[in-house]
Structures are given as C-alpha cells and as structure tokens.
C-alpha cells in the first residue's frame, strides 16, 4: 500500500505545471555525456589535478559572488526569468569548454558556469515550493525535492551509460554532444510560469520592496534560526566531498585494471541505484527520522571512500564507488525540505541564496585540498575524504 501511496504522490506532483517542467529541464541539463571521461578530456587540454580542482573552486567562487544578487533579483523580477538566464549561461560555458584549451580559458568558462549555479541556486527550490498547493506544502515538500533530484540522477544516468563509449577514441566528442540536451533544457525553462503564491507579508504596492528589505527579512530569519546556516555549510561540504567521486572514480577504476569502456556503465549503475533511493527519501525520513537519514547520507559514502583507499580489487572498487555515489542521495532533498519549511514566501529565494552564499565557503575551501590530495595519491585521497564525511554525519546531530 505504501508503494501505491508514494506513486500517487508523485503523480500529483507531475500534474503541477511548474514541477513538471522544472523536472524535465533538470533531467535534460544533467544529461552530461562527458562526465565519465572528464579527467581524460581536461588532461588532453593541458590541465593537471590541481588545476582541475582549482576550476571547481573558481566555479564555487563565482557562484558565491553572484549568489545573493541573483536571489534578490529572483524575488524582485521573477524566478522564471532568472532560471532562463542561468540555463543560457550554462550553454555559454560549455561552448567555451568545447572550443578552447588551457587553464585560463577554462577558468573563464568556469566563471560563467558558477553564475549559472547562482541563478539556479534557491530559484529552482523556490519555484518548486511556491508552486505546491498551500494546504499540501508539508506533505509534498520532501517528495517534490526528491523528484527533482531523481530527475538529476536520471539525466546523469543516461549520459553516463553512453558517454564512455563516445569518449573511447576522442574525449572531446562527449563534450560536444552534451550541448544538445542542454539546449533542450533551456527550451523547457521557457515553458515555466512565474510563482503563484502571494508574499507572506503584505506591503503597500505603491512602495515596492527593495533589495535591503529582502535581505533584512532573510538575515532576521537566520538570526532566529542559526542552525539553518549549519545545515547549509554541511550540505555544501558534503556535496563537494561526495562529488569528488565523479573525478576520482576514473583513477580508481584504472588502478583496479577496469577497462575505460566500463567506466560509464559502472558509474551509471551506481547513479541508477541512487535514483531509486532518492524516490524513497520520504519513507527513509519517516522510518529513520530526519537526523538518522541525514547522518547515513554522509556516513555511507565516507565508508565507501575509506574502502577505496584500502582495496584495489575490481569487485570491491565497484562496490565502494557505488556506496559513495548512491549512499548520499537523501541529503539534498531532506535539507531542502527542512530549510524551505522555515522560510517566508516573500523572500524565499533571497534567504536560500544567503544560505548558499554562506555554505559555498565550504566548497571554495575544500576543492583545492581535494585536488591536492589527489596529487599525493589515491590512498590519501580516499582516507581523508572518508573520514571527513563520517565526521559530518555525526555533526548533523547538532543541526536537526
């Protein structure tokens, strides 16, 4: 019966216009054919591990700088407009990656991609949350974010399943092919409608809200709920640590003697398992509690990284990569639901952007260290990432 109840919930969500088109856009934007050969591609363009992860820090820094402005603009001008700008910048950044080589041109593309992330950060969550029926917000919040994240995994899964075959002879081919689904994702955002909820606080229409009004509302809430800041920091730190598997899985596979042609299918299988687990997020939260589900989403991938540091047998390498890739999927929808339940409608995008602005500091600080660890060896990399993730799992207890 619970399975049918969950299916009915997801059908209800699919019937909501903005939810449906955001899910489609997210799915298409995550059809990234080059993810399984990104290390080979960037190495062929003259980058080493330190420079690769430096680009990740540039992305985080650009997103950090534009985080709050894009959140305020979204609350002022409309979420749909900012999302369209974000998806357009995503296309522009990929064009740069396709047509250039060397660190500095890639750095310019990374800046555009970071601004794209700032446009999407908070804006997608806000449009999803404010498109839900008010009387069903709490019941549909976690499933809505689970569905959005499942769409990401589904797109990623499709790209992984064929990307390594495209890149066997030319690692540039998957990068070029990825432009097509990204263009379709941009078209999908054009179908979105503006949010329909009125602001939570009434104001005189003759005196439109200014930037400082949105920021004041956001900062007041964060002073009252400081654990929201902790959750944002945890989310960003855990994301950066677990996301490193999509860079380091390739060296780990190579160390284990796994052929390049299998890189994509193996990682795709792990992401596919994660996609199924995402849809079970509401059930996991009910059974384990918010803390239990959130803690496991950090501890399980931590165990996977430690396992990768200790074993190079092909079977165990596949198992541990799967633990990292699929074991963290409950984290994002749970944290998104918890944060959105605390935020007023009128300044929701601004508040989420302020939180992301603070949390992105974790990504800026961690990415160069993760890249540096890779240059010291895969054993140090797996052990350090694993220990950090397990510690974050226990820290979650203080935040929820």
Q: Which domains does the chain have, with CATH numbers?
A: 8-192+214-398 (1.20.1250.20)
Decide if 155 contacts 31 (C-beta within 8 A): yes
What's the confidence (pLDDT) of residue 206? 45
Whole-structure pTM value: 0.76
- The CA distance from 157 to 149, in Å, is 12
Return the DSSP state at 343.
Answer: S
Q: Is the pLDDT of residue 22 over 70?
A: yes
Q: What sections of the chain are H helices per DSSP?
A: 2-14, 17-29, 38-44, 49-77, 79-99, 103-120, 123-131, 137-166, 172-177, 179-189, 211-224, 227-243, 245-255, 263-279, 281-310, 314-326, 331-341, 348-376, 378-395
- The CA distance from 270 to 277, in Å, is 11
- The CA distance from 23 to 29, in Å, is 10
What's the confidence (pLDDT) of residue 238? 94
What's the confidence (pLDDT) of residue 135? 81
Question: What is the Cα Rg of the chain in Å?
Answer: 20
Decide if 386 contacts 244 (C-beta within 8 A): no
What are 373-387's pLDDT values in tens digits?
Answer: 888 889 999 999 999
Q: How many CA atoms lie within 13 A of 255 on its CB side?
A: 17
What's the confidence (pLDDT) of residue 358? 84
What's the whole-number average pLDDT of the chain? 86
Q: What is the mean pLDDT of residues 3-31?
A: 88
Neighbours of 230 (CB within 10 A): 17
- The CA distance from 31 to 34, in Å, is 9
Cα distances (Å, whole numbers) of residue 4 to 7, 25, 277: 5, 26, 16
Between 10 and 53, the more confident residue is 10
What's the confidence (pLDDT) of residue 203? 44
Neighbours of 102 (CB within 10 A): 11
Q: What letters, b where the CB count within 10 A reaches 16 and e where it falls short, cover 287-324?
A: eeebbbbbbbbbbbbbbbbbbbbebeeeeebbebbbbb
Q: What is the mean pLDDT of residues 207-211?
A: 59
- The CA distance from 161 to 176, in Å, is 16
């Amino acid at each position: 019966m619970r399975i049918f109840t969950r299916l009915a919930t997801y059908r209800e969500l699919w019937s909501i216009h903005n939810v449906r088109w955001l899910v489609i856009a997210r799915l298409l934007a995550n059809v990234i054919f080059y993810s399984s050969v990104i290390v080979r591609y960037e190495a062929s363009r003259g980058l080493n591990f330190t420079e690769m992860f430096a680009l990740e820090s540039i992305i985080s820094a650009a997103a950090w700088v534009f985080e709050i402005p894009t959140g305020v603009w979204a609350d002022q001008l409309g979420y749909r407009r900012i999302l369209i700008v974000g998806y357009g910048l995503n296309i522009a950044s990929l064009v740069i990656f396709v047509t250039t080589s060397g660190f500095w041109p890639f750095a310019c593309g990374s800046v555009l991609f970071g601004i794209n992330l700032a446009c999407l950060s908070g804006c997608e969550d806000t449009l999803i949350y404010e498109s839900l029926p008010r009387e069903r917000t709490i019941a549909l919040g976690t499933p809505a974010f689970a569905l959005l994240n499942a769409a990401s995994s589904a797109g990623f899964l499709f790209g992984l399943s064929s990307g390594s075959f495209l890149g066997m002879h030319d690692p540039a081919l998957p990068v070029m092919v990825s432009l097509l689904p990204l263009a379709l994702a941009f078209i999908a955002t054009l179908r979105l409608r503006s949010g329909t909820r009125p602001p939570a606080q009434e104001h005189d229409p003759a005196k439109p809200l200014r930037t400082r009004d949105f920021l004041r509302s956001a900062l007041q809430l964060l002073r009252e709920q400081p654990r929201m800041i902790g959750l944002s920091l945890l989310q960003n730190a855990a994301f950066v640590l677990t996301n490193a598997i999509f860079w380091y899985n390739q060296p780990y596979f190579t160390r284990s003697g796994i052929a390049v042609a299998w890189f994509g299918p193996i990682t795709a299988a792990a992401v596919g398992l994660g996609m199924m687990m995402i849809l079970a997020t509401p059930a996991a939260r009910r059974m384990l509690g918010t803390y239990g589900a959130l803690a496991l989403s950090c501890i399980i991938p931590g165990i996977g990284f430690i396992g990768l540091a200790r074993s190079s047998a092909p079977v165990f390498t596949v198992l541990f990569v799967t633990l990292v890739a699929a074991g963290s999927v409950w984290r994002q929808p749970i944290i998104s639901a918890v944060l959105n339940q605390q935020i007023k409608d009128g300044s929701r995008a601004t508040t989420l952007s302020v939180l992301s602005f603070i949390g992105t500091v974790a990504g800026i600080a961690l990415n160069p260290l993760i890249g540096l660890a890779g240059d010291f060896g895969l054993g140090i990399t797996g052990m350090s990432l694993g220990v950090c993730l397990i510690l974050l799992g226990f820290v979650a207890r203080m935040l929820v």
